[in-house]
């Protein structure tokens, strides 16, 4: 029955995949903590305005990819397509402008209605970091350094390339915008329909177009670099010199723009060729205009978001389940006893599997299948002596251990 299939573009994370997924987000969370980032969780849906206002009317997300619903009360809500807008909204709702600078980490599901393919789902997961309240290029470098550290810890850094660009300040963007409008207007007939739309509203967007024809035009478009004012160049140079000081390699990609409206100055992406067409694994930049756009106090910010599924695919690491201890009771009296032993060991912090039925051979096979590192056998003989048989399932060696010494004997396995 087709209704038994998950919705197109969504996936179940079965235990094995979930472990790999967890390993990615736990690693990110752990590294972010080393940089002083505290975790925050915002709701997975927000008023549609939150995304519309911040991401911009011409962004792919707003024009095509949002899951928007009308509530009974008439209000429109949207499943979050990304994390930054929600964090900025939370920053304002909770009056956090008193506690700047703020370093926030988040992790969770995002929703975008796009064509599903390898590395592109309709429900996917991101973790991200937002650094609010510091307008200086050092903050950009620290955010990038955090990204590098996470990728290294995941063992995928060597498979990625850091692409870096600057989108300048407001004045530079205005000058560049003018140049782009002039250039693209002269080639109007060759632009895709989407880009014709972008031409008046946000010509920078055209640089990010995935349309073949657009891309040909983009290749010979004016360069942002030529329209940057001195402040913007200085800012970019400072970001680069901080990265140099940390020994972080990058490539200046003058065509790199971020898909969202709220970015200025630094834009960066860690890309890989190992995942086919979906090559960006972690991307971000500076968004000084965001909070103000939402009606909040002028608050600078810089951050990134990373795709958990893409990173899990790239790291291709099989995360084994922790190995349990198997308890094997033989006989009615031992069954009851086994319950108590299992409970005591679990309270002491051990992972314990309790076999319920079958003969000894069957239960040992089960224990091996569960990848148990040891079995604790409770038989009549053992019970009579107030002891259990402890069998190491790797070496096959076994010994009799008094019940009251069992926890002590197992302590080294914790």
> Where does this chain bind ligand ATP (CB under 6 A)?
82, 112, 114, 119-121, 124, 126, 259, 278, 280-281, 283, 305-307, 309-310
Q: How far apart are CB 331 and ligand ATP at their closest, in Å?
A: 53
Write down the number of H helices and E strands in the chain: 15, 16
For ligand ATP, which is the closer residue by CB, 160 or 172? 160
Distance CA 14, CA 20 (A): 10
> DSSP string spanning 251-303?
EE-TT---SSTT-EEEEEEEE-STTTT--EEEEEEE-TTHHHHTTS----EEE
Q: How far apart are CB 16 and ligand ATP at their closest, in Å?
A: 19
Instruction: Supply the DSSP symbol for 129.
Output: E
Q: How far apart are CB 107 and ligand ATP at their closest, in Å?
A: 12
For ligand ATP, which is the closer residue by CB, 289 or 388? 289
For ligand ATP, which is the closer residue by CB, 60 or 353? 60
Residue 142 and residue 131 in contact, taking contact as beta carbons nearer than 8 Å:
yes
Q: How far apart are CB 110 and ligand ATP at their closest, in Å?
A: 7
Nearest residue to 20 via CA among 317, 338, 295: 317
Q: How far apart are CB 128 and ligand ATP at their closest, in Å?
A: 8
For ligand ATP, which is the closer residue by CB, 106 or 390? 106
For ligand ATP, which is the closer residue by CB, 120 or 409? 120
Q: How far apart are CB 359 and ligand ATP at their closest, in Å?
A: 49
Q: Work out the angle at residue 340's Cα, subtended by the Cα atoms of residues 335 and 345, and round it to the nearest 5 degrees.
A: 120
For ligand ATP, which is the closer residue by CB, 122 or 350? 122
Nearest residue to 148 via CA among 255, 264, 284: 284
Report the residue number whose CB is nearest to ligand ATP. 307
């Amino acid at each position: 029955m087709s209704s038994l299939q998950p919705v197109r573009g969504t996936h179940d994370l079965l235990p094995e995949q979930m472990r790999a997924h967890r390993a990615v987000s736990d690693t990110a969370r752990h590294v972010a903590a080393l940089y002083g980032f505290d975790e925050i969780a915002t709701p997975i849906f927000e008023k549609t305005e939150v995304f519309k206002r911040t991401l911009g009317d011409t962004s792919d997300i707003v024009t095509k990819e949002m899951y928007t619903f009308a509530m009974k009360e008439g209000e429109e809500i949207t499943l979050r397509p990304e994390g930054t807008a929600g964090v900025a909204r939370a920053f304002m709702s909770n009056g956090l402008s008193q506690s700047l600078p703020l370093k926030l980490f988040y992790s969770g599901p995002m929703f975008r209605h796009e064509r599903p393919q390898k590395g592109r789902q309709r429900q996917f997961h991101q973790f991200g970091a937002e650094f609010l309240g510091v307008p200086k290029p050092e903050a950009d470098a620290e955010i990038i350094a955090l990204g590098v550290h996470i990728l290294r810890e995941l063992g995928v850094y060597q498979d990625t390339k850091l692409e870096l660009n600057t989108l300048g300040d407001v004045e530079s963007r205005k000058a560049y915008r003018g140049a782009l409008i002039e250039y693209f207007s002269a080639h109007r007939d060759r632009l895709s329909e989407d880009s014709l739309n972008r031409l008046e509203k946000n010509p920078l967007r055209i640089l990010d177009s995935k349309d073949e024809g657009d891309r040909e035009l983009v290749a010979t478009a004016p360069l942002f670099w030529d329209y940057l004012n001195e402040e913007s160049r200085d800012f970019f140079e400072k970001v680069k010199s901080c990265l140099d000081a940390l020994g972080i390699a990058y490539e200046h990609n003058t065509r790199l723009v971020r898909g969202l409206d709220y970015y200025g100055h630094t834009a960066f992406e860690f890309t890989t060729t190992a995942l086919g067409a979906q090559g960006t694994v972690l991307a971000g930049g500076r968004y000084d205009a965001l909070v103000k756009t939402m009606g909040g106090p002028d608050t600078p910010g810089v951050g990134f978001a990373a795709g958990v599924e893409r990173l899990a695919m790239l790291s291709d690491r099989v995360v084994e389940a922790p190995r349990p201890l198997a308890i094997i009771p033989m006989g009615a009296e031992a069954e009851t006893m086994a319950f108590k032993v299992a409970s005591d060991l679990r309270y002491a912090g051990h992972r314990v599997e309790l076999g319920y039925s079958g003969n000894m051979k069957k239960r040992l096979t089960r224990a091996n299948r569960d990848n148990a590192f040891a079995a604790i056998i409770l038989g009549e003989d053992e019970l009579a002596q107030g002891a259990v048989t402890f069998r190491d399932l790797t070496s096959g060696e076994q010994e009799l251990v008094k019940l009251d010494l069992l926890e002590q004997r197992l302590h080294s396995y914790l």
